[in-house]
Structure 1
Amino acid sequence: MATAEQESDSAYAELLDRERRISNVENAGMILYWDQQTKMPEGGTPARAKQLSALQSIGHELLTDERTGELLDELESEDLDDERAAVVREVRRKYDRAVSVPSDLVEKISETTSEAQPAWQRAKAEDEFETFAPYLERLRELHIERAEHIAPDEDPYEVMFEDGEPYLPLERVDEIFDELREGLVPLIEDIEENGADIAADAFAGTFDPADQEALCRDALDLLNYDWDRGRLDIAPHPFMSGTQFDARVTTRFHEDEFVDPIFSTIHEFGHATYQLGLRDDAYGTPLGQSRSSGIHESQSRFWENHVGRTEAFWEFFLPTVTEHFPEFDDVTAEDAYEAANQVFTDNLIRVEADELTYHMHIILRSEIEQEFVAGDLDVDDIPARWNELMDEYLGVRPDTDSEGCLQDIHWTSGFASFQNYTVGSVFAAQLWATIEEELDDPMELIREGDFAPIRDWLTENIHEQGQKYTTDELIEEATGEPLTAEYFLDYATEKYGEIYELD
């Protein structure tokens, strides 16, 4: 007869097997999504929508099977070690949410999402919001229905937010937004009114996208991107897709933009570094999966801003730039640093925004989608509301919807995810402050192109932890204190005060 310990081991092994199968189905869907955004011919959408819907349905059925619930019940009555308890906690959370949602609704959401993405691409290319509006309205209806199945007594928007950030209350995020408004708006105004002239046009010109791509590939080489487990492709909206064995980076190029593709590539490299830093031996389980959307964004914003936007990085990287673009031979590292960190409120595009005004873009989107999900904003009124808030927060109005409410792909997949970009920026600054205390002169490491100690620290303290800890626990484990906007505001005030020579 099996002992209680043996039965627990058997139940845990069976639960892991189920979780790995579910993860493999999800990862297969992720590759199909990557293909849809990068390689698939435009006419492939009807079949791809059905394929992704089928995979979503299979994964949902595996997760919500009665046996999954029985295994969870059995294991939750056991005295488990920390790692096993974390796995059971995370699978339980997914199970409880999934079992509440009918399979046919899961299929409808997946199919509508797949159909919405090319509709968004057409709408953006043709500057016709009305092409995308019906899909956006349908997605709102479907996601609200899903949220009501999961937690009928909660605000649907909060339920949606918990999909990507389950352990950080939306109320705390709203408090951080208030702190950022209070600290950043006066700083931005001070820069506009009193800031010194900087080398904003150091990289002006027009550029061959093929040459830009070659430079971005070299940037990934210098950052030690693992090409055996990744690749670089072009997508309408940059993203990273993958696992610890295959983390693919995408970017985009514009003939009149030089710096933005570099930072887009470094940003997605940060996401890939997180994926590649997850434990190989825990693949397909919560211990081998990233903690949350906000933590993921902290890694991309860390590499983009606390590494890529430093003068030390440009001292290291500028010789590579001039190899590809000799016309910049007279640009100094200080010039490049200033050009990479110019603050401009008249920029309409979020992914091209500077570190400070970026968060006004995020706040704008969060407010609009909360109003939309709550039913306080009709879909046809989104363009006008967008333009109104752009004028209020940044003093500029887009001339087209392509530059306005159609610029992001995110609403094709749902709502309540934009906050995580700001959560990521705030935590990235907190991580940098901790790294400055624990590593010997990390800025000198960047100057020398020795990124391994910084990456290894992040891997040990963030990546390899997977989902062992909840979000708040992971933040405290890594930095010794809860999430706070203090470090980001101090960093921003000091950095931009020096660049713009503010009193």
Structure 2
Amino acid sequence: MSSEAADEASETYSEFIDRVERLTNLGHAGGVLGWDQEVMMPEGGTPARSKQRSAISTVTHELLTSDEMAAALDDLEAGELSDERASVVREVRRQHDRAASVPQDLVEEISEVSSEAMPVWQEAKEEDDFSKFAPTLERLVELKREYAEHIDPDRDPYEVLFEEYEPYLGVDTAERVLERLREELVPLVEAVRESDADLATDTFEGEFDTDTQEDLARDVLDTLGYDWDHGRLDTAPHPFSSGNQFDARVTTRFSPDEPLGALMATVHEFGHATYTLGLPREEYGTPLGKSRDMTVHESQSRLWENHVGRSRAFWERFLPKVKERFPEKLSDASVDDVYEAANEVYEDNLIRVEADELTYHMHIIVRFEIERDLIRGDLDVEDVPEVWNDKYEEYLGIRPDSDAEGCLQDIHWSHGDFGYFPTYSLGSVLATQLYASAEEDIENIDEKVAEGDFDPLHDWLTENVHRHGCRYTTDELIRQATGEDYTADYFLDYVKSKYGELYELDDYQ
């Protein structure tokens, strides 16, 4: 390539990156509006907020699908690109092609309807009345089917929507993994429930002051190394995290009788935030400074929640802080007591975000099967509560008594996030595979956790996952980090060994 051609290519790429950075900043601005709506906005602000978020979606769509963006992508793809630049172009091309297939007025309508849907969902949940949310849900299903049809009318619409959250592993991988989890976890859960093991499951019984719980949540974030200069903790009806490598916020929720649930939710959201904060700052605004979709993101939160937060080593470090906050209730609790309580397999838990590590995946499978059937047109919205309850009875042996405890408990469908749920289980599976690799590279990792030294694990994750942003596809990143293809083997071996030992199951030890 001549120097003149090289200069021209460099100028084209520079102009292209300027457009990409504007898109990124619009997206982050929309994210702050979304965070505010769920955390701080007054209840009456919805009509204006829906218009604001719709305007951002419209402008973003216009920039992403513009003739200038299309021409820049064509020019860059026709030339020679470094690996890093090729990755950026690959990611933007995928976004551009999908967005260019969808009419702008549909994008605007989806944004407005989903923004207006959240208070409708909240009211329906509070009043335990699915019928109040059903018309909105039906409209969202119709809009998302239409969205998928514009992108690819010849493919399964759910597969198209799934790729919004996990574009590279494929819905066939999700179906294969979830089917395997259902086949192997259901008998394990049954064996656990039939066990005579005497666990200290009543350690956290009673009521725990929620203000003190918030102090404890801040303690756990301090212990794990949360960067308060680039984050904050708030409460929300449904715990979530959001932001970028300069501003990664977490939320949790508190209930007087669920202190352990609030604590684990906080650790979970810390995992998301520490991934976000570990993205390269010098690449902010480009795909190289963006997280690698939801399977990888969820692997980070589930790794910190389950492999750290529910470990015996973690409680050796953190139990003194818990006793300091609740001296009257937990002064006699031992590390084993708290470890057993943190890993109890519940007999009758209906709530996903409060689920134990084992039955959690049945919650995901129920949602996955229902939303897949909704989008494919195999299930009517009005039948969701009954189908939901039937599946809970089949997979978990329990039946919700109310819509609030059943199909209204999650916020995701009010956002129009169909295809999101499978990534929770896919991420949990990946978390175990990543942690197994980290254990091979970090000597005496349990001892370090017990000493409160989380830097080696954090550094390993940053080196092998966070710093790459979207340079690699999901499957490539997994191979880079672990040396193997994505597999559920590590997860299934881990839960069978852990819960076989905990519940004294001869067939699983």
Query: TM-score of the superposition, structure 2-length normalised?
Result: 0.98
For 1:23, the equivalent position in structure 2 comes to: 24
For 2:317, the equivalent position in structure 1 comes to: 316
Amino acid in structure 1 at the alignment position of 2:407 = C
Amino acid in structure 1 at the alignment position of 2:358 = L
2:456 aligns with one of 448, 453, 456: 453
Paired residues for 1:35-74 under 5 Å: 35-74=36-75
Q: Could you tell me how far apart the structure 2 residues matched to 1:441 and 1:75 are?
A: 47
Paired residues for 1:407-418 under 5 Å: 407-414=409-416, 415-418=418-421
For 1:355, the equivalent position in structure 2 comes to: 357
For 1:218, the equivalent position in structure 2 comes to: 219
Sequence identity (%): 61
Amino acid in structure 2 at the alignment position of 1:471 = T
Amino acid in structure 2 at the alignment position of 1:120 = W
The DSSP-based 3-state class of the residue aligned with 1:3 is helix
For 2:175, the equivalent position in structure 1 comes to: 174
For 1:206, the equivalent position in structure 2 comes to: 207
For 1:373, the equivalent position in structure 2 comes to: 375
Q: Could you tell me how far apart the structure 1 residues matched to 2:239 and 2:357 are?
A: 18
Q: Could you tell me how far apart the structure 2 residues matched to 1:9 and 1:265 are?
A: 44
Paired residues for 1:29-178 under 5 Å: 29-178=30-179
For 1:246, the equivalent position in structure 2 comes to: 247
Q: Say whether 1:257 aligns with 2:258.
A: yes
For 1:439, the equivalent position in structure 2 comes to: 442
- Asked if structure 2 preserves the Cα contact closer than 8 Å seen for 1:286 and 1:466, the reply is yes
For 1:278, the equivalent position in structure 2 comes to: 279
Q: Say whether 1:480 aligns with 2:476.
A: no
Q: 4+ residue stretches of structure 1 with deviation over 3 A?
A: none
Deviation per residue, 1:397-432 (Å, 9 max, x gap): 111100000000000122011000000100000011
Amino acid in structure 2 at the alignment position of 1:383 = P
How many residues are paired up? 503
Amino acid in structure 1 at the alignment position of 2:209 = D
Shift of 1:190: 1.1
Amino acid in structure 2 at the alignment position of 1:451 = F
Shift of 1:345: 3.6
Q: What runs of 5+ residues in structure 2 fail to find an aligned partner?
A: none
Amino acid in structure 1 at the alignment position of 2:199 = I
The DSSP-based 3-state class of the residue aligned with 2:164 is helix
1:466 aligns with one of 462, 469, 473: 469
Shift of 1:315: 0.6
Q: Could you tell me how far apart the structure 1 residues matched to 2:172 and 2:105 are?
A: 32
Deviation per residue, 1:42-66 (Å, 9 max, x gap): 0000000000000000111011110
Q: Could you tell me how far apart the structure 2 residues matched to 1:273 and 1:195 are?
A: 39
For 1:336, the equivalent position in structure 2 comes to: 338
Amino acid in structure 1 at the alignment position of 2:84 = E
For 2:422, the equivalent position in structure 1 comes to: 419
Q: Could you tell me how far apart the structure 2 residues matched to 1:493 and 1:252 are?
A: 30
- Asked if structure 2 preserves the Cα contact closer than 8 Å seen for 1:97 and 1:150, the reply is yes
Amino acid in structure 2 at the alignment position of 1:447 = A
Shift of 1:2: 6.6
Deviation per residue, 1:278-307 (Å, 9 max, x gap): 010100100000011110000000000000
The DSSP-based 3-state class of the residue aligned with 1:163 is coil
Shift of 1:182: 2.3
Q: What runs of 5+ residues in structure 1 fail to find an aligned partner?
A: none
Deviation per residue, 1:455-493 (Å, 9 max, x gap): 011011101100000000000000001110000001101
Q: Could you tell me how far apart the structure 2 residues matched to 1:278 and 1:158 are?
A: 28
Query: TM-score of the superposition, structure 1-length normalised?
Result: 0.99
Deviation per residue, 1:152-189 (Å, 9 max, x gap): 11111000000010001111111111221222112111
Q: Could you tell which deviates more after superposition, 409-418 or 84-93?
A: 409-418
For 1:364, the equivalent position in structure 2 comes to: 366
The DSSP-based 3-state class of the residue aligned with 2:163 is helix
For 1:300, the equivalent position in structure 2 comes to: 301
Q: Could you tell me how far apart the structure 1 residues matched to 2:180 and 2:198 are?
A: 28
The DSSP-based 3-state class of the residue aligned with 2:194 is helix
Q: Could you tell me how far apart the structure 1 residues matched to 2:161 and 2:334 are?
A: 46
Q: Could you tell me how far apart the structure 2 residues matched to 1:98 and 1:468 are?
A: 21
Q: Could you tell which deviates more after superposition, 279-288 or 366-375?
A: 366-375
Shift of 1:378: 1.1
Shift of 1:195: 4.3
The DSSP-based 3-state class of the residue aligned with 1:376 is coil
Amino acid in structure 1 at the alignment position of 2:112 = E
Deviation per residue, 1:53-107 (Å, 9 max, x gap): 0000011101111010101001101121110000000000000000111111110
Q: Could you tell me how far apart the structure 2 residues matched to 1:195 and 1:55 are?
A: 57
Shift of 1:358: 0.4
- Asked if structure 2 preserves the Cα contact closer than 8 Å seen for 1:266 and 1:304, the reply is yes
- Asked if structure 2 preserves the Cα contact closer than 8 Å seen for 1:345 and 1:357, the reply is no
Q: Could you tell which deviates more after superposition, 174-183 or 131-140?
A: 174-183
Amino acid in structure 2 at the alignment position of 1:37 = E
Q: Could you tell me how far apart the structure 1 residues matched to 2:459 and 2:196 are?
A: 37
Q: Say whether 1:237 aligns with 2:238.
A: yes
